[in-house]
Structures are given as C-alpha cells and as structure tokens.
Amino acid sequence: MKSISILLTSLVIFFSVSAQAETANREQLLRFANAVGMYDQIEEQKVALNQQGAQAAQQYAQQIAASTPGLPEQFEKDLSDEMAVYMSNISTLIDTDFAVNTYLNLISKKLTMTDVEKLTEFYESNLGKKYTQSNKEVMGPWTVTFMGDFDKKLLVHLQTFTSNLMAKASSYSSGR
C-alpha cells in the first residue's frame, strides 16, 4: 500500500512538473510569435485580403449589373448596402489566434525549446528587430516583382498549353 502511495505521489509530482513545463513552453512560443511579428503580419494580411475582397466583390457586382440590363436605381443602393456588409465581414474570416496557434503547434514539433529561446532572443535584439522591420518593408515590393515575373512566365506557359491544345483539336477535325 505504501508503494502505491509513493507511486501516486511521484506521478502527481511528475504530471504537475510536466504541466508547468508545458505552460512555460507555450509562454515561450507566444513570446517567439510576438518577437517575429506574427500578429502584425496576420493583421497586414487581413488588410490585404480586405483590399482583394473589395476588388473581387466590385468585379462581381459589375458583372451582375452588366448581365442584367435595366436594373432599377435601387440596385445601386442595394449594392452599396451589400458591399458594406461584405466588407465588414471579410477580416473576421481570419482568426488570428487560430493562425498563430496552428503555426506554434507546427513549429514546436520542428524546433527544440532551446532553438525557440535562441531565436526569440535574436528577434528581440536590435538586429532582430531591424531585420523584422526591413523584411516587412521589402516583402511588398518583392511580392510585386516575384508575382509579376511569375505572371509573365505563366502567361507564356498558358499560351503554349493553349496552342498545343488548339493544334491537337484542329488535327481531329482535319481528319474528318
């Protein structure tokens, strides 16, 4: 009976220490997320998605208006009201806590707590802060340049694909 009591006491101590270590890990991971600017990055993505969403919604609205001639003036008011509702809901589609927690759960499987501590120290240092800020500043122009280059290459690739398909399609009709 005494050995069971010692075993149970040992298990309680082990699990309470493990729970404290888990909490410390979680706190360290959240500190890391703050240090690397995850929350700011997600908020910036929400702004970008709002802009993209507004453009897409406006295009759909224009398509609806163009495909439905003779809409009354009330449609413009309805469109304006619907756009306001649509835009107010876009940024709520991204759950910041969910995004951060998902990332932290994934990264915690790849990095040791020592790795996370060292990275956090770096990102909290002057150089780390400078890097984070500089990285934010170059990501917009980098994305524009990268996507512009990709779009050009994709267009050529798509034209080749279309030409090849058209050639094959016409070869079937010429055999009739």
**pLDDT band with cut points at 50, 70 and 90 for residue 118:** very high
Measure the CA–CA gap between 109 and 98, rounded to whole angstroms.
Answer: 17
pTM value > 0.75: no
| pLDDT at 140 (0 to 100) | 82
Kindly state the average pLDDT of the residues 59-72. 81
Residues 6+ positions from 113 with CB-CB distance below 8 Å: 25, 28
DSSP conformation class of 173 = H
Q: pLDDT tens-digit profile of 42-59? A: 888 878 777 777 787 788
Q: Are 54 and 116 in contact (CB under 8 A)?
A: no
Amino acid (1-letter code) at residue 151: D
Q: Give the DSSP H or E segment for 104.
A: helix 96-107
| pLDDT at 127 (0 to 100) | 96
Task: Look at the block and give the residue holding tokens 């306001």.
Answer: 84
Measure the CA–CA gap between 36 and 17, rounded to whole angstroms.
Answer: 28
**pLDDT band with cut points at 50, 70 and 90 for residue 175:** low
| pLDDT at 4 (0 to 100) | 55
Domain ranges of the chain: 2-124, 140-176
| pLDDT at 121 (0 to 100) | 95
DSSP string, 43-70: HHHHHHHHHHHHHHHHHHHHHHHHHSTT
